[in-house]
């Protein structure tokens, strides 16, 4: 059985005090214990949010990391730094990082391996552009992203990885992929992983959908066989909405 996982990606939103207010808002509600809950907060808020999450079962994520433990990489944050704070997950290869910060499949792969080495669970983002979808290339693009991301990653480590299928055209646009399309692509990713590893790995890997997920669309998405969770941007910034997403 795959445990559902709902993650809020706050992106570049919330100062420390705003982060704490949002966590307070989330914590003051009853959250489904059978759903894994994750908040991916800005680097500056990680430490304080970690303390605020003590005594809850909400997990903490970073939104990016460097693959090296330390060194002359001005402005970067290392897995050791994240680990010391007690960061459970790290989003890796988000399309906004690919689009605006030159993130490429090779660096995504290095970051995944480094995160795994340090006991941080990667949430690996893949997804096609509108142009790629309109020309019918979504499977080719996503398969290549998945295979390059997982190059050299052992089968045993896949249980610690979450894949997030986030079609770029659906992010922040209000256009959600239809639940059937999202289910199809999550199934396609699962098959890709099954072909690379084996049947057990295929059945156990958790795959999220992301892209304009809202309280009004979550139930339908989560009813689909291949969709194990959601990676949510905008709606995760409102405590009440995040609570509704978790309690779908």
- Would you tell me which residues interact with ligand 13P (CB under 6 A)? 9, 94, 166, 171-172, 210-213, 231-235
Residue 11 assigned to a binding site: yes
Any binding-site annotation on 135? no
Nearer to ligand 13P among residue 59 and residue 94 (C-beta) = 94
93 labeled binding residue = no
Exactly one of 36, 94, 138, 226 is catalytic; name it: 94
Which among 122, 149, 150, 120 is positioned nearest to 208, based on CA atoms?
122
* Whether 94 is catalytic: yes
- Which residues face 6 on adjacent strands? 37, 230
Asked if 118 is an active-site residue, the reply is no
* Residue 233 annotated in ligand binding: yes
- Residue nearest to ligand 13P as judged by C-beta position: 233
- Cβ proximity to ligand 13P: between 191 and 214 the closer is 214
In angstroms, what is the minimal distance from the CB of 27 to ligand 13P? 22
Q: At closest approach, how far in Å is the CB of 173 from ligand 13P?
A: 7
Shortest Cβ 49–ligand 13P spacing (Å) = 17
In whole angstroms, how close is the CB of 231 to ligand 13P at the nearest point? 4
Of the listed 36, 96, 132, 166, which one is catalytic? 166
Residues that are catalytic: 94, 166
Residues belonging to the binding site for substrate are: 9-11, 172, 212, 233-234
């Amino acid at each position: 059985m795959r445990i559902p996982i709902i993650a809020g990606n706050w992106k570049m939103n919330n100062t420390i005090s705003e982060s704490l207010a949002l966590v307070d808002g989330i914590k003051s509600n009853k959250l489904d214990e059978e759903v894994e809950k994750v908040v991916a907060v800005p680097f500056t808020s990680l430490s304080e949010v970690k303390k605020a999450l003590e005594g809850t079962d909400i997990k903490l994520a970073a939104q990016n990391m460097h693959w090296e433990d330390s060194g002359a990489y001005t402005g970067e944050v290392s897995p050791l730094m994240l680990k010391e704070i007690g960061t459970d997950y790290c989003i890796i290869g988000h399309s906004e990082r690919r689009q605006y910060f030159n993130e490429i499949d090779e660096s995504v792969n290095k970051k995944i391996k480094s995160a795994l080495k340090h006991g941080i669970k990667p949430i690996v983002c893949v997804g096609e552009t509108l142009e790629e979808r309109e020309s019918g290339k979504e499977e080719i693009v996503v398969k290549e992203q998945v295979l390059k991301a997982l190059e050299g990653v052992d089968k045993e480590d896949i249980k610690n990885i979450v894949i997030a299928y986030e079609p770029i055209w659906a992010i922040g646009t209000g256009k959600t992929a239809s639940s059937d399309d999202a289910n199809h692509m999550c199934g396609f990713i699962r098959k890709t992983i099954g072909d690379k590893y084996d049947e057990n790995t295929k059945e156990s890997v958790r795959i999220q959908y992301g892209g304009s997920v809202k309280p009004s669309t979550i139930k339908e998405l989560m009813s689909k066989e291949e969709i194990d969770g959601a990676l949510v941007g905008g709606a995760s910034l409102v405590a009440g909405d995040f609570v509704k997403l978790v309690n779908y």
